[in-house]
A and B are shown apart, each in its own frame.
Chain A
Amino acid sequence: MPAVQAKSISCPNCGGPVALRGFAHTLSVVCPQCLTVLDASTPEVQILQTFQSKERVNPTIPLGSRGKIGDTQFEAIGFQVRQVSTGDDSYSWSEYLLFNPYKGFRYLTEYNGHWNFVHVETALPEQSRSAGKLAMRYGGKTYLAFDSMTANTAYVLGEFPWRVQVGESVACQDFVAPPLMLSSEASAGDITWSRAEYMRGSQVWQAFKLPGSPPPAYGIFANQPSPYAGSIGSSWRTWLWLNVALAGLVFLFMVISPGRSAFSDHYAYSQGVKSDSAFVTPTFQLDGRNANVELSVHTDLDNNWAYFNFALINDQTGQTFDFAREVSYYHDSDGSEGSRNNTVIVPSVPSGQYYLRVEPEMAAGSPYVRYELELRRNVPNYGFFAVAALLLLIPPVLTTFRKGSFEAARWRESDYAPAVSGGDD
């Protein structure tokens, strides 16, 4: 935008100079010295309002500053503070009037560090409903009703294309489709619709080359885009592909770890037949790489238990894997408990010639038990795959939960917040 000399008038109240940057568009201007609101629509500048507030508010973006938003350079020419009072509670936000001689007026609003770039629309949105909520259709998008309020102008500075007055009030309604927001302002029978797009403070600071860094944004604003938008679908898609890869891994190990039987035999044990129940099996060969060995015990126990001490011993090196398993099975008319079988997986057993040392134990006076020992080499451990499948669920579930929490926090501020039952407050 070329540098244009601002027109200047004298304030009829204090005599101070008042710059006019909005050319013929400016209908009212505020004297920066005495804060008197002046009618700038005629050459004879008249006083519209002489008293505002005793406290001056300094705009974060100084009036007269120029900033590029999109590909258009705007000049900040007006500033107002608007306030909403609801019972004991009141809050306010700032609005900057931006001007470009070719593009006209835009607004920049700020609330708790959340910024919006606002364009007044000429077309009317269409009322509709979405998910049972009041909504507006505009420009192919559906905006959900968020809140409604009556806003009062609490402070003005600079110039405006309407006859601005402190204390004037408008009925506002906001509809959101993050990062966009559609707002209506109604006063004296006129309704103005505007469309806002969310901006981060850093974008405003960069656009207007403001010194320092923007204050942090507090809370979640109505049309603030969710940081998780789009990430849920992507997250679940990634989860799906990783599960396909996991299934491929399962298939691969079913092929390369077929679980070949290395040893199998049947035995019987009777408590008290001999004092030393330990015995060793014949040797058997475990081939291949370091891999696991699965030992299964199948018994004919009936309302009894047996305990087996095992040692898998390498015949050449003496390397021993020492482990034990209990097998117990009880049943009555109410049902059953335990199992007649048990299994143990011995990890990372090197190849070699092995034998098993077996030492069964039972309670004194127990009848004899017949059992079978079956030893299989290199079996797939499906527990690892199950744990991997569970751990793969964590990221998408977490993302879904965080997005839900973000949206819940957004809608808690809304007049159309989902009803919460069972609360004390």
Chain B
Amino acid sequence: MALELNETLQNTIDGLSDKFTDKLIEVYQSTGDTFVRIESDALVDVGNYLKDDHHFVFLTDIAGTDRYTSDERFEVIYNLVCLKHQTRLLLKVRCDEEDPELMTVSTVWPSANWMEREVYDMYGVRFKGHPDLRRIFLPEDFDYFPLRKEFPLLGIEGSIELPNTTPDTD
């Protein structure tokens, strides 16, 4: 499918394919948004490049997804905004089901701190080099990652072990 890119995105994609030829996996569009998927080991370099050379200074959101039953099960999507040219770019990386780990981008965009904690909390994807990798919503004593597809929506009492929430009992 032919891509319809504006000038900024075209420059960015050209720059990326020049500089990171081996690392760029795919560029595609869906409902008007542009997605770029890269190799996970080049994440920080690409991040720095996008921030320094193409003004993608504003990281608004990080979303994790569970591609259940596919290879490279977890996908993390970085929602980047170029304020100078009013453009949005979604950067994707994937990681394996076994021991999912990615490099942190909180060194590039400090706002990634809490957003990565949220991905960790929900999917169990760990971020190497993260300054404070704790769960953000759920307590540390909770052993599961609830947004993984195998986690049930409805609980059956006693089916999984949950941390104690009443102060007076053990």
The answer to whether A and B assemble together is no
A interface vs B, CB < 8 Å?
none
B interface vs A, CB < 8 Å?
none
